[in-house]
Amino acid sequence: MDQQLTNTFQRAQGETVYHADSVANLKELLQKDSSDLVTAMMQKFQENEDSFDFPVLNESDRIIVLADEAHRTQYGTLGVAINRGLPNAPKIAFTGTPLIKSRKTNNEFGTYIDQYTIEQAVADGATVQILYEGREARTKVTGDSLDMLFEEYFADKSDEEKAAIKRKYGTELAVLEAPQRIRWVCIDLLKHYKEHIRPNGFKAMIVTSSRRAAMLYKRTLNELGAPPSECIISGSHNDEAFYTPYTDPTQQKQAIEHFKKPIAEHPLSFIVVKDMLLTGFDAPICQVMYLDQKLREHTLLQAIARVNRTYPGKSRGFVVDYYGLSDYLAEALEMFSTEDVAGALKNLKDEIPKLKAAHTRVMRHFKDVDKNDIDACVLALADDAVRQQFEIDFKLFARQMDIIMPDPAAQPYLADLKFLGKINQGARNLYRDSQLDLAGVGEKVRALIDEHIRATGVDPKIPPVDLLARDFREKVNEHKSDRAKASEIEHAIKHHIDVNLDDDPEYYKSLSDKLKAIIRKHQEHWDELVQLLMDFRDNIEKNREQQAGDLGLSDTQFAFHNILMAEVARIRGDESLDEATHEEVIAVTKDLVTMLDEATNIVDFFKKQDEVKRMKKNIKRRIMDTSFDVPDIRTAVMDRFMELAKVKYKP
């Protein structure tokens, strides 16, 4: 945190920033009457552990104290020290932790400047919702079970040995550090991680009760063949040798950097900690915290916030409790303002009603459709607005399934998830609708749907058949009904037009108009429409080639010719031009395309504004020499020719 604060202020432009690295250094810096920025930890306001007599350093009222993480330490002896050292300095507090009801923060710093609650942050998408799940009650360390657990884990010890263990560690810590219990928890959390978290590419933190427990977790994970893990704990001068590998700051820094990377870039999946990294640590790829420690008050909220950071594909954070946090969770949160902590943790079971509601909503799209008829279900999404709403509803349902799976509560909805995934893919192919993908639904759901689609004979990675493909007719005939066949051809033509529109805007726009006329005239006569659309498809490119050849124009010239023809017809108010005007249009087109051929030979032509301006002037001058010249057509042709040139002459 010390380094983060200093780095943040050092990015301020034109400011001198000093980092106080000792008590003496802090005193020296704060006694100066200069407009510098000074960063320091609160602990620098105490001479030593036994001394509370901090001197007055500067009585100026032009010094401003910005206190980050402004809770607890601000109210005790360190708070007294800073108030004595800078008696007239206005103070502004920042905290990402809800304020306690006793309002000590308000008493120390005054009224709110601004508030931003947990629920507001989730609603805005600034953070993700955290789901809480208590696992396996028989390992919990709370309540009456503690002595029973002790007896279970230390059954092989004599009464004297048990008494010695209790004297050294106490019953609770002895149970928390029991290798047998830690192994059992590791087996369960690995199952949870591999089923819920790993498939979506996220990572995990394990929070333990002691440094020794952290090392035992690390060792046990290795023995169980878990994904790579690192133990990160603080060290002290009196440490035994076996702590050393886990307390080296250089190795810890490297491990943290590896942990923050995507799994594809570095496989480190777990970090095991006691107290380190529970505050100020920002690793958005971390989605789950496995808790095996009793956390209280601010520490609890700060710790669980490690998993609420946003990250692509991360719809929720998870807190999985092995200690028994739920037994006093409400009590732990009661000390805070109710509004501040509303929505801090949601129980995983609260997501099941949301899943049911999402399922009901998406299935309504097929209320009056035979769900055994895939073609009919896909055709029910023919309307663009209906299809857009289906996409929203389907992805909401799929995301809820990803949150719940593989919990048994998801089982009743699995068949419909597969069914909807197949409809989604069928509609994506038929309507050539790229929005109907599986982005953001989670890898567990994506894998399930892909597997089902393949099992039914369709590879979801293969795009819809191209309009001009040799086997197009065979693919169309795979549809059972004439309506489905007509729809396949119609949307294949539409897709072909969309893809090629920029290459020859006028020609493909005219095709779109003709297609609409055919469908409007023959809709509901599906067998007749199939034949008409197939004939239309067969002649799309043949007609274009023939028209260009009849005019003596190349493919490129023909596209520019069509634009010029359209603009002249617009100006004249008549689509059928006389032969002389048409001949002039052809001649002007050839001249302008020749100019463009030469101009675009210049390297990076479109990035050189002087060259582009010169070409525009040449187009304008050539139009001015024609019989159809008017100011309006000059600008229109100049702009449209240059837009088409970017397509035709792209590098």
Average pLDDT, the chain: 85
**How high is the pLDDT of residue 137?**
45
Taking each helix axis from N to C end, the angle separating 526-550 and 505-522, rounded to the nearest 10 degrees, works out to 160
Average pLDDT over every residue of 361-375: 91
Average pLDDT over every residue of 404-433: 89
More confident residue, 73 or 548: 548
Average pLDDT over every residue of 293-309: 81
Beta-strand ranges (E) seen in 220-328 are: 229-232, 270-273, 286-291, 316-321
More confident residue, 633 or 139: 633
% the chain with pLDDT above 70? 89
Contacts of 380 (CB under 8 A, 6+ apart): 365, 366, 369, 386
342 pLDDT exceeds 70?
A: no
178: three-class secondary structure by DSSP: coil
Backbone angles phi, psi at 194, to 5 degrees: -70, -30
- Of 202-206, 322-326, 384-388, 458-462, the range with the lowest mean pLDDT is 458-462
What radius of gyration, in Å, describes the C-alpha atoms of the chain? 35
Instruction: Give the count of beta carbons closer than 10 Å to the beta carbon of residue 165.
Output: 20
Distance of CA 613 to the CA centre of its chain: 42
Q: Where are the alpha helices (DSSP H) in 263-326?
A: 297-304
DSSP calls for 370-405: -TT-HHHHHHTT-SHHHHHHHHHHHHHHHHHHHHHT
pLDDT digits (tens, 9 = 90+) for 469-494: 787 888 788 887 888 888 888 888 88
640 pLDDT exceeds 70?
A: yes
Q: 144: burial class by Cβ within 10 Å (0-12, 13-18, 19+)?
A: exposed
pLDDT band at 407 (very low <50, low <70, confident <90, very high): confident
Locus of tokens 């810590």: 173
Six token digits for residue 279: 């505050």
Average pLDDT over every residue of 257-277: 95
**How high is the pLDDT of residue 265?**
96
**How high is the pLDDT of residue 327?**
59
Instruction: Give the count of beta carbons closer than 10 Å to the beta carbon of residue 432.
Output: 18
pLDDT digits (tens, 9 = 90+) for 489-543: 888 888 888 888 899 999 989 888 888 888 888 877 888 888 888 888 888 888 8
pLDDT digits (tens, 9 = 90+) for 371-384: 888 889 989 998 98
Cis bond before residue 412 (omega within 30° of 0): no
